């Protein structure tokens, strides 16, 4: 009896785990570290032409210096809407207008805010680990069902080891990403 007959799809488990870590990277990118980054605007949506649109689709996002992000808005009529979206985004940045260019000076983070952000990053990482473990549990449940349907004990051990190895690799990647992000946040 092969694994295909028993509905164990390692590629699907891997894809789902990769999706969880990709989501973590997006969440990390939205954390402000005191250094300018165009990716910090990715979650901000602007009401443009009757629908919600990412900022990078209504203007050019640039990082001309370490503590400044600029957005060159293509349509003059959209400048106010982009400014409003940034103010309401919760990024804690005060936009400054210069014609069709919106300047976002990135304030220095104080020690207390840095510590808060490292806790938020740790929370994001823990949620990702939980997602990965839930996916692992799904895989292990399918293996148990396969065992009940006639899979040999040796095959069961091989599949369980395979799923556990995938999980270990993903958890290690999450831990490394968290370490890097926390070091980035704490860097003055």
Task: Identify the CATH number of the domain in which residue 127 sits.
Answer: 1.10.132.20
Mean pLDDT comparison of 41-50, 75-84, 108-117, 169-178, highest-scoring range: 169-178
Q: Are residues 67 and 22 in the same domain?
A: no
Q: Are residues 65 and 98 in the same domain?
A: yes
Choose the final residue of a domain: 88, 105, 122. Answer: 105
Average of pLDDT values for 124-141?
94
Cβ–Cβ < 8 Å for 67, 102? no
Tokens of 118: 């490292």
Q: Is the pLDDT of residue 143 over 80?
A: yes
Cβ–Cβ < 8 Å for 159, 3? yes
Q: Are residues 84 and 21 in the same domain?
A: no
First to last CA, the chain: 58
What is this structure's pTM? 0.66
Q: Are residues 89 and 121 in the same domain?
A: no
Tokens of 22: 């990709």
Q: φ and ψ at 19, to 5 degrees?
A: -65, -40
Tokens of 173: 């990647």
For the domain that residue 88 is a member of, what is the CATH number? Answer: 3.30.1360.40
Range of the domain at 175: 4-28+110-186
* Domains held by the chain: number: 2
Q: Are residues 90 and 45 in the same domain?
A: yes
């Amino acid at each position: 009896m092969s694994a295909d007959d028993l509905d164990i799809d390692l590629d699907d488990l891997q894809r789902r785990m990769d999706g969880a870590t990709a989501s973590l990277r997006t969440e990390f990118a939205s954390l402000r570290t005191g250094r300018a980054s165009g990716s910090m605007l990715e979650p901000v949506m602007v009401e443009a032409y009757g629908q919600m649109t990412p900022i990078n689709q209504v203007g050019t996002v640039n990082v001309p210096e370490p503590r400044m992000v600029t957005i060159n808005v293509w349509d003059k009529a959209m400048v106010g809407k982009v400014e409003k979206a940034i103010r309401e985004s919760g990024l804690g940045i005060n936009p400054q207008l210069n014609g069709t260019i919106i300047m976002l000076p990135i304030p220095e983070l104080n020690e207390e805010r840095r510590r808060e952000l490292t806790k938020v990053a740790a929370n994001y990482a823990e949620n990702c680990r939980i997602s990965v473990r839930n996916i692992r549990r799904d895989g292990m449940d399918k293996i148990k069902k396969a065992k009940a349907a006639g899979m040999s004990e040796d095959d069961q051990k091989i599949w369980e080891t395979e799923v556990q190895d995938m999980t270990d690799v993903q958890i290690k990647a999450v831990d490394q990403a968290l370490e890097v992000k926390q070091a980035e946040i704490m860097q003055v």
